[in-house]
Amino acid sequence: MSYLENAQTVYNMVFSGQLMEAFEKYYSEDVVMQEATGHVRNGKDENRKYEQQFLDSVQEIHGGGVDAITSNEEEGVTMVESWMEVTFKDGNRVKLEQVAVQRWEGDQVIHERFYYNAP
The CATH number of whichever domain residue 33 belongs to comes to: 3.10.450.50
pLDDT at 118: 72
How many domains is the chain built from? 1
Beta-carbon-side half-sphere exposure of residue 83 (alpha carbons within 13 Å): 8
pLDDT at 29: 98
Domain residues for 29?
3-115
pTM (2 d.p.): 0.93
Residue 119 has pLDDT above 70, yes or no: no
Q: Which tens digits make up the pLDDT trace of 40-60?
A: 999 999 999 999 999 999 999
